[in-house]
A and B are shown apart, each in its own frame.
Chain A
Amino acid sequence: MAEAPLLSVKDLVVEFPTRRGLVLRAVDGVSFELRQGEVLGLVGESGAGKSITGAAVIGLLEPPGRIAGGEVRLKGERIDQLDRGAMRRVRGGRIGMVFQDPLTSLNPLYTVGQQLVETIQTHLPLSPAQARQRAVDLLVEVGIPAAERRIDSYPHEFSGGMRQRVIIALALAAEPELVIADEPTTALDVSVQAQVIAVLKRLCREKNMAIILITHDMGVIAELAHRVAVMYAGRIVEIGPVRDVVKAPRHPYTRGLMGSIPDPAAEADRLTQIPGAMPRLNAIPSGCAFNPRCASVLDRCRRERPSARVVGSSEVACWLDDEQLRRSDLQAVVAR
């Protein structure tokens, strides 16, 4: 691959120092790359560190959380050490963000148009009239009917699905190269979810925009993502093309995760049905973090942490050898 990837995250570590002196590692050595126009799904149980990873990339960690190691590069240029002003220009300018809850993501006191125009003018040198025109165009693009009129409505005058479209329009205000979408459909009615997914898919294609798609919904992943990264306890355990990871998962954790969904393409199910629970951040087991729940656990797993290695078209972090990882009858998860 000659050209630099759009986004490259290497050995990212995010820590939260606590008041009692303990340091919690929410993200521990995460690496992945993203090409232009590529959609990367980020899945894993609640608390796996998906949102924190997204926030770290866009420089939105809430203090006391901080990037304690690794690097984030956008088109080869480091963005994890930029000063406030430069990072602010990256946010919204080159990387957009969509949050989960459309009901609370918009400021209730300003019209949709005011919020769009404000964002546009922050990043692009446009006159108020031009910015307003662009705002209308954006609303049309995300599929808001009668955009000319609706632009002067307040957020509470829109339905949930429409609001999420507005939020996508806001994220796209300055034509970012990358959008981080943190559970963009979770809070929506099922019927509306498909529409929002369709909008994202179309925009991604038309604008050659890359997306990091954080979700629990394998249906959404199957629909939208090109590759998937599976996170567990702050680490990526498996990353690879959607078809491989979903249809032929290698890592015992991924197997458990996928095993809980009969047919990923058909029925969207939540990923929380693996027996046992993910460890708390203050009690992550040494070695492979998954070892207390893993049925194939080896002695070594308790001592040494596996690093990612290429297995087929994916990368997997597990001590089992390739042979074992390929077996379809591998016992993955301890049944309780």
Chain B
Amino acid sequence: MIAFLIRRIAQAVLVMLVVGFVAFSMFRFVGDPVSIMVGQEATAADRAAMAERLGIDRPFPVQFARFVGNALNGDFGISYRVGRPVMDLIQERLPATLELALCAAMFALVFGIGAGVYTALHRDGALSHAAMTLSLIGVSLPTFLIGIGLIFLFSVELNWLPSFGRGQVVDVGGWKSGFLTQSGLRSLVLPTITLGLFQMTLIMRLVRSEMLEVLRTDYIKFARARGLHDRAIHYGHALKNTLIPVITLMGIRLGSLVAFAIITETVFQWPGVGFLFVASVQAVDVPMMASYLVLVAAFFVVVNLVVDLAYYRVDPRLRTDHATARS
């Protein structure tokens, strides 16, 4: 257990260092880091002070170390485009993205696993065929088209749900939440579906194929031979085994929610981090891009760590101490 954890954490740190290095390279070698840090309308004295502070003349590793140190303290410099500290901007917008991603993840997981199990168990049912065909379309359907389609149907034609923004938000200790108002919740519906649908179809296909695989295994045959109830076989034996390989991939899928949030947020003008990021790519806002990179990497790494731990929880084979394994 300990060795496993240490290896995973070491890997995570390595990934973060690599990503940090890329971010740092952008930061350091693209454009003029001094003006990036002090902003556009700084005095010569400010600039000199900043050059001193950044230690531009120091050896490269020292600079990198300092960059990592600053990043750990949440100091990513000042946005080119807006002229405010990057970290402030991100903090303001993080709740919007996280709430959206959370809803989409729940949506994708619940419906993806449900539909996957259903289509695996009723392989030749009409509903399963329909779901599989739809899922193929779903995989080929770019996220932004889903969003536009939903807006057209539910906002423009039916006028049921808002087409942009978060609605009314409530400030809970610095966290602006859309969960507490009706308009906030209504605003979440379409973006959640847009963001979750693609992941849902992937999870569904994955769960389906894994489950079919598991249903073919000897231990399921043996469970049938023992006369167990279908319910016990499907939801006890098969589902649990299905979820083991699925968990890993689900980690990746959920991580990519953050990536796709960029698109969803653009379509729905959702005031989240992704929206901010697109604006910064358009404006070549280096500090913003660099810190977004680090932030997203951190998110991916954390998700993957959590997934590893979950894996560990579910599969007893990983838990055993090998010294006493066989008798």
Q: Are A and B part of the same complex?
A: yes
A60–B225 alpha-carbon span in the complex (Å): 7
In the complex, chain A residues 163-204 whose Cβ is within 8 Å of any chain B Cβ: 167, 170-171, 173-174
Across the interface, B327 reaches (CB within 8 A) one of A93, A107, A162, namely A162
- A97–B237 CB distance below 8 A: no
Q: Which residues of B contact A97 (CB under 8 A)?
A: 222, 225-226
B222 touches A106 (CB 8 A): yes
- Among the 9-residue stretches B74-82, B108-116, B227-235, the one with 4 or more Cβ atoms under 8 Å from chain A is B227-235
Chain A residues near B227: list those with CB within 8 A. 88-93, 119, 122-123, 174
* CB atoms of A107 and B320 under 8 A apart: no
Q: Which of A27-35, A150-158, A275-283, A321-329 contacts B (4 or more CB under 8 A)?
A: A150-158
A105 in contact (CB, < 8 A): yes
Are A150 and B327 in contact (CB-based, < 8 A)?
yes
Chain B proximity mask over A105-135: 1 for CB below 8 Å, otherwise 0:
1111111000000110011000000000000
Verify if B176 is at the interface (C-beta below 8 Å from A).
Answer: no
Interface status of A307 (Cβ within 8 A of chain B): no
Tell whether, in the assembled complex, residue B226 and residue A171 are in contact, meaning their CB atoms are under 8 Å apart. yes
Q: Answer yes or no: A104 CB below 8 A from chain B CBs.
A: yes
| Distance between B274 CB and nearest chain A CB, rounded to angstroms | 38
Chain B min CB distance to A119 (Å) = 5
Q: Is B224 close to A, CB under 8 A? A: yes
Binds A, one of B135-143, B213-221, B249-257: B213-221
B119 to chain A, nearest CB (A): 16
A158:B232 contact, CB within 8 angstroms: no
B47 at the interface (CB under 8 A from A): no
- What are 24 A-B interface contacts by the 8 Å CB criterion? A60-B224, A91-B226, A91-B227, A93-B227, A96-B225, A97-B225, A107-B223, A108-B219, A108-B317, A109-B237, A109-B241, A119-B227, A122-B229, A123-B227, A156-B317, A157-B326, A158-B326, A158-B327, A159-B326, A159-B327, A162-B327, A170-B222, A171-B226, A174-B227
For A176, give the chain B residue with the smallest CB separation.
B227
Whether the pair B219, A106 counts as a contact (CB closer than 8 A) is yes
Measured CB to CB, the closest approach of chain A to B239, in angstroms, equals 10
A132 to chain B, nearest CB (A): 17
User: Besides A91-B225, A158-B327, A174-B227, 17 other CB < 8 A contacts?
Assistant: A58-B225, A90-B227, A91-B224, A91-B226, A93-B227, A96-B225, A97-B225, A104-B217, A107-B241, A108-B219, A108-B316, A109-B240, A118-B228, A122-B226, A122-B227, A122-B232, A173-B226
> Is there contact, CB below 8 Å, between B327 and A101?
no
8 Å CB contact of A167 from B222, B314, B317, B324? B222
**Residue of chain B at shortest CB distance from A173:** B226
Q: Are A92 and B320 in contact (CB under 8 A)?
A: no
A49 to B115: give the CA distance in the assembly, Å.
Answer: 37
- Give A80-106 interface residues, CB cut-off 8 Å to B: 84, 88-93, 96-97, 99, 101, 104-106
CA distance A44 to B320 in the complex (A): 41
- B228 and A99 within 8 A (CB): no
B315 at the A/B interface (Cβ < 8 Å)?
yes
Q: Whole-angstrom distance between the alpha carbons of A156 and B217 in the complex? A: 16
Using CB atoms and an 8 Å cutoff, list the residues of chain B in contact with chain A. Answer: 217-219, 221-230, 232, 236-237, 240-241, 244, 314-317, 320, 324-327
A157 cross-chain contacts in B, Cβ below 8 A: 320, 324-327
Point out the residue from A91, A99, A162 that lies within 8 Å of B218, measured CB to CB: A99
Say whether A118 contacts B218, CB under 8 Å.
Answer: no
A88 touches which one: B229, B317, B327 (CB < 8 A)? B229
Contact A109 B314 (CB under 8 A): yes
In the assembled complex, the Cα of A150 lies from the Cα of B325 at a distance in Å of 12
Q: Are A104 and B218 within 8 A (Cβ)?
A: yes
Cβ of B261 to closest chain A Cβ, rounded Å: 34
The 8 closest A-B pairs by CB, nearest first: A92-B227, A97-B225, A91-B227, A104-B218, A92-B226, A105-B222, A154-B316, A107-B219
Interchain CA distance A154-B314 in the complex, whole Å? 13
The CA of A174 and the CA of B222, in the complex, are separated in Å by 15
Cα separation A84 to B237 with both chains bound (whole Å): 19
Q: Complex formed: what's the CA distance from A110 to B315 in Å?
A: 9
Specify which chain A residues have a CB less than 8 angstroms from the CB of B226 in the assembled complex: 91-92, 96-97, 119, 122, 170-171, 173
The chain A residue sitting closest to B215, CB to CB, is A62
On whether the beta carbons of A156 and B325 are closer than 8 Å, the reply is yes
**Identity of the chain A residue whose Cβ is nearest the Cβ of B243 in the assembled complex:** A109
Residue of A nearest to B219 (CB): A107
